[in-house]
Structure 1
């Protein structure tokens, strides 16, 4: 595996930072998850659901294949054990707020004294600089609301809505892994590690970068519109005769070629010569009328026929799938899922990291660890004697 021999210490909770550590683990790194006595809050994600639903797929997604230990850093022995772990690590990942890390002597400047090769990754809500750097932040606040993602994805005149679970976190995790890998690459050349920082706010701004670049340059940006008011009426979502939604994305933003091809597919060549729709400018000006015409044409065709015609014409399109559709999609299974051990001799599908390494991918990943499952094992690897480990347990510094 690509990162075999790389040791990662994760002192984090929730999603963004643990997800980044999980990606490194998927690629072969040895990831040690350090939790406080209460455990990562995501362990309780399904605590209130119906009893017949067993397991915690949200936690498992971002923690599969890790080893887990419990240390209480409010006690000197627990804090020292975590520092010893970092002294022997290649990567340290945390999303604890910087002020708390500094108070505990677990900030980058403290840990690099014992391990100058350490790549220290910190994930924050709002970054390390600026007037609000100290504030706590989740993806719904820092990524979704503060960065503008939430406002820019709401059609004009409609109320804002909440983000789906982990949306901004997993985008931030991708950025975090990229930063860590750059730090490891630099270390190979210089012999020195470094601090790398990512934030939910920064990821949100970059995710909407195309629109925000326009805002920064011109002082304004077009708002989202409802489908009946689309600026490009043929780049839109439509429904088949059975009511199945699908999305059409014409090349070149609605070139005449794709417009003519779409009319041919629908058997509506008469629309090509309609003065209201002859040019791109005319189609934009008469968007509601054109969308109404297309709606009527698509409503006469079953979904499978639409799919056949689009594929034969090499159109860029896709069904608008529900989660159940995605779970049953053979293309998703082939490219975007991984099997995870269930701890009972079987395995179940789970989302894979989006980077694939043909010939080096692992078909099945180990399950996520139980709370403190590997505490004794990891402490022994650090050189603690059996007596010292028992003393740490007795003092509440380990569990």
Structure 2
């Protein structure tokens, strides 16, 4: 497996998923990522035992998917950065690192001595990366944010998926949804900064916010609003299909599953769909026998498509549509995605051995090099590598004991 980040060291002072997810991607790519956790409390996300109403830890083991996903492949050291002995260890690690990665708020960074100037004082060439809720400047620079607030709600996605007449706001489809997307974004920025440092000799300070990532995700609608100088008009609701295309939209099968059609050229794909549906006469129906007529009578055609789709079970439609050229997709839940044939064929679900020695599986990051899947290693246990990392810095056993007595390390 090609590991293009081998030889790169990343020092991560961060918790939860946004920002740590970037470290996980870099570790997938071969970087040595050292995760700094507080010597007593660790990453606060370790305390999340229920997420979205479900148990977050595998019964009888320490396997914790919400920690494994954004932390696989790293080493963990426990440092109480408020203690001078610990901050000196951190500075030593920074001297030997290429990237410093954090999502601590400005007040905490200043109090702990991990601001840009502090880290650059010991390593002028380090790439300093800040992940934030709302950006490093402006009225909300000092505020914390989660993906449900900064990305999903404020970034436009929640409003975009919630019907105007809904009594409830549509929630994110998965835990750490925007965090995971944001982490991938940060990893890409770090790769660019490393390339820039190599080619120009200049180092960078990177800023990525959940709000910015959220706005990027909804940029089409935001750009439309900017173009017209106000909120875009609400699209007239259609029960089935798109306003001018019956082959775009979600349709329900007889057994209550959904399929998403996205055949953007209705004139091209209408005859094929009619044959697949066992209704070839619809292709020559005078209401639908040209692209122009089909678009003009899209609502009527969509009602017919809905009736046809509702006449067969999901599996039958998957088999039938798979034989055609038109674009469509099954609407899948988490278990379906976990077993998706394309993901499996492309090694996007990978094995990882947990701390107890059991084989597990995790979703990989979506980037592959040279058509090879990622080889995953598990996330570290809390402060699992403290002694190992300190010995790499030249600390003796006696010095380790003194640091632990002082409460500087765990």
Using the size of structure 2 for normalisation, the TM-score is 0.89
CA distance in 2, matches of 1:344, 1:102: 39
Q: Give, in whole Å, the separation in 2 of the partners of 1:311 and 1:357.
A: 28
* 1:217-366 alignment, distance < 5 Å: 217-218=227-228, 219-223=230-234, 225=237, 227-228=239-240, 230-231=242-243, 232-250=245-263, 253-272=264-283, 288-335=299-346, 336-358=348-370, 361-363=373-375, 365-366=376-377
Aligned partners of 1:227 and 1:237 also within 8 Å:
no
- Kindly indicate whether the alpha-carbon contact (under 8 Å) linking 1:16 and 1:172 is maintained by their aligned counterparts in 2: yes
Closer, same or farther: CA 286–154 of 1 in aligned 2, 3 Å:
farther
Which deviates further from its counterpart, 343-352 or 41-50?
Answer: 41-50
Deviates more, 1:264-273 or 1:351-360: 264-273
Report if the CA contact (8 A) 2:131-2:208 is conserved: yes
Report the equivalent of 2:46.
Answer: 43
Look up the match of 1:178: 188
In the alignment, is the contact (CA less than 8 A) between 2:240 and 2:251 conserved in 1? no
Shift of 1:268: 3.4
SS in 1 for 2:130: strand
Q: Does 1:382 align with 2:385?
A: no
State the 1:227 CA deviation: 4.3
CA RMSD across the alignment: 2.4
Deviation at 1:207, TM superposition (A): 0.5
Partner of 1:3: 5
Alignment of 1:101-250 (within 5 A): 101-158=109-166, 159-163=168-172, 164-218=174-228, 219-223=230-234, 225=237, 227-228=239-240, 230-231=242-243, 232-250=245-263
User: Deviation at 1:262?
Assistant: 2.2
Measured in 2, the distance between the counterparts of 1:14 and 1:227 equals: 40
Structure 2 match to 1:60: 68
Whether the aligned pair in 2 keeps the contact of 1:242 and 1:303 (CA below 8 Å) is yes
Instruction: Give the direction of change, closer, same or farther, for the CA distance of 1:5–1:353 in structure 2 (3 Å limit).
Output: same
Q: C-alpha displacement at 1:397, in angstroms?
A: 1.0
Residue 23 of structure 2 corresponds to which residue in structure 1? 21
Count of residues in Structure 1 that have an aligned counterpart in Structure 2: 396
- Any gaps of 5 or more consecutive residues in structure 1? none
Q: Which moved more, 1:11-20 or 1:380-389?
A: 380-389
Shift of 1:275: 6.6
Query: What is the TM-score with the length of structure 1 in the denominator?
Result: 0.91
Please say if residues 155 and 226 of structure 1, whose CA atoms lie closer than 8 Å, have aligned partners that are also in contact.
no
Cα offset for 1:307?
3.0
Q: Secondary structure at the match of 1:237?
A: strand
